[in-house]
Structures are given as structure tokens and as C-alpha cells.
């Protein structure tokens, strides 16, 4: 499960539990409001990152302002598979492999890692070859 969906699941569970606890005591209402404010900006950031992973502009998040239909359209965008490298950068699989010097490639449905030459090393090789 990707980072976006983990973030959504954890936020849903925490908000649901706090919403239930608000009926027990009003202090939980304060905690609920503080939690909601604390995750507002990270939620926007991760939603925009997910839209970028699917090749969409981050401005598409404004579709959520359209009642009911905007939320459904955003869910459809979020569940689409990642494009991999696009105009917004590498896909999530590429970001995960970058730290170990590998990149994600798919061949006939099978993931096969291949070695990546860092830009600094490739430029040094180019200079030596000249």
C-alpha cells in the first residue's frame, strides 16, 4: 500500500475515533479540531503529490470544492495508477528505488531493477572520455 493510502487510512481512523470520543467529553472536541488543523497542510501536500504521480496538475485539487461530484472525481484521479516519470518528476516506484541506486522498470508485468548511474558519475565519465 502506498504512502498516500496509508496517510489517508491513518487520518480516517484517528478522525473517526476522535469523532466518537467527542460524544463522551468536550475535551475530545478540542483535540479533534487541533488534530484536523495539524493535518490540513500535510493532507493538501500529499493529495497534490498523488495527483502529480498520476500526471495531473495539483490545481485539480480545487475540484474538491464542487459538492459531491468534485469529491468523486478526485477519488477517481487518486485510484489511477502512477504514470512513472512524467512532467512532475519520478513516479513513486522510482523515488523508492532511487536511494539504493536502482530504478523501477516494468517489462511485461514483471518488475526488474537496473543499475542507475548518478548524474555526477556520468558527467565525470564524459569528461574523461573527451
Domain residue spans of the chain: 3-129
Q: Cell numbers for 35, please give them.
A: 488534530
Could you read off the pLDDT of 14-29 as tens digits, one per residue? 999 999 999 888 899 9
Contacts for 82 with CB less than 8 Å, ≥ 6 apart: 53, 54, 91, 92, 93
Q: Structure pTM?
A: 0.65
Q: What is the C-alpha radius of gyration for the chain, rounded to an integer number of angstroms?
A: 20
DSSP letter at 86?
B
Could you read off the pLDDT of 65-119 as tens digits, one per residue? 999 999 999 999 999 888 777 777 776 665 555 555 444 444 444 444 554 545 5
Computed from CA positions of residues 42, 43, 49, 52, in that sequence, does the dihedral angle turn out positive or negative? Answer: negative
Amino acid at each position: 500500500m502506498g504512502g498516500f493510502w496509508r496517510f489517508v487510512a491513518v487520518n480516517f481512523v484517528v478522525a473517526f475515533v476522535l469523532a466518537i470520543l467527542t460524544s463522551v467529553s468536550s475535551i475530545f472536541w478540542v483535540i479533534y479540531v487541533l488534530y484536523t488543523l495539524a493535518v490540513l497542510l500535510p493532507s493538501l501536500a500529499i493529495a497534490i503529490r498523488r495527483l502529480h504521480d498520476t500526471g495531473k496538475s495539483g490545481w485539480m485539487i480545487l475540484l474538491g470544492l464542487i459538492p459531491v461530484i468534485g469529491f468523486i472525481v478526485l477519488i477517481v484521479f487518486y485510484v489511477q495508477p502512477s504514470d512513472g516519470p512524467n512532467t512532475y518528476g519520478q513516479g513513486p516506484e522510482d523515488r523508492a528505488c532511487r536511494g539504493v541506486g536502482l530504478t523501477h522498470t516494468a517489462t511485461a508485468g514483471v518488475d526488474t531493477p537496473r543499475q542507475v548511474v548518478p548524474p555526477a558519475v556520468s558527467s565525470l565519465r564524459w569528461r574523461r572520455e573527451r
